[in-house]
């Protein structure tokens, strides 16, 4: 319950989070597929904005190979187990990662920790780089069994059908 809205019905505690983040440079502002601007939502393609984003990139775009994808998934499994989180699904693609996980922390903190440990393991395996991931990511609250199960099925089964 929010202190400024005492009559508001509290949301249920989330059963899980659906986390998604992209690899560095793989989905820039202005992208032809559309893109998400924080607080403003989905935005239309904008070629000038995309070119500007390309000019300020400090490293080349990241595309993960099969070995790197496996390293990322294992790092997420290991860290989730270490923290006592319930990992429902993880799927690392060449340009993004999906995770369905329950954790007592805020989804931003869970996302931060998973990106940190995936980065550490990738750099240990080499070659090292400064930036593997986009700056932010998405953390959706899954408040029902149906939404958690749908996200889990999507992450586990639907990624290879695209």
Query: Mean per-residue pLDDT for 139-157?
Result: 95
Spacing of C-alpha 87 from chain mean position: 14
- Rounding to the nearest 10 degrees, give the CA dihedral for residues 130, 136, 142, 146: -70
Q: pLDDT class for 1, splitting at 50, 70, 90?
A: very low
Q: Give the rounded percent of residues in the chain with a pLDDT score beyond 90.
A: 60
Nearest C-alpha neighbor of 53 from the set 21, 22, 23, 31: 31
Q: Domains of the chain (ranges plus CATH)?
A: 16-27+62-161 (3.30.70.1290)
How confident is the model at residue 148, as a pLDDT?
96
Backbone angles phi, psi at 31, to 5 degrees: -50, 140
Average pLDDT of 96-104? 97
Distance CA 17, CA 148 (A): 8
Give the confidence band of 34 by pLDDT, cuts at 50, 70, 90.
Answer: low
Yes or no: say if 107 and 139 are a contact pair by the CB < 8 Å rule: yes
Residue 16 has pLDDT above 90, yes or no: yes
* Angle CA 156–159–24, to nearest 5: 110
pLDDT tens for 108-137 read: 999 999 999 999 999 999 999 999 998 889
How confident is the model over 129-149, as a mean pLDDT?
Answer: 93
Query: Residue 99 above 70 pLDDT?
Result: yes
Residue 2: band (very low, low, confident or very high) from pLDDT cuts 50, 70, 90: very low
Q: Place 65 in a pLDDT band, splitting at 50, 70 and 90.
A: very high
pLDDT of residue 107: 95
């Amino acid at each position: 319950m929010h202190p400024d809205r005492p009559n508001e019905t509290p949301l249920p505690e989330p059963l899980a989070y659906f986390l998604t983040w992209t690899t560095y440079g793989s989905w820039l502002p202005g992208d032809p597929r559309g893109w998400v601007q924080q607080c403003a939502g989905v935005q239309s393609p904008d070629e000038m904005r995309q070119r500007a984003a390309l000019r300020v990139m400090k490293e080349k775009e990241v595309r993960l190979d099969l070995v790197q994808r496996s390293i990322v998934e294992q790092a997420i499994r290991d860290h989730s187990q270490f923290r006592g989180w319930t990992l429902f699904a993880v799927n690392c693609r060449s340009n993004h990662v999906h995770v369905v996980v329950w954790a007592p922390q805020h989804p931003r903190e869970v996302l931060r920790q998973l990106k940190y440990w995936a980065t550490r393991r990738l750099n240990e395996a080499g070659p090292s780089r400064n930036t593997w991931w986009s700056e932010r990511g998405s953390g959706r609250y899954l408040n029902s069994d149906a939404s958690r199960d749908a996200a889990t099925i999507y992450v586990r089964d639907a990624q290879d059908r695209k």
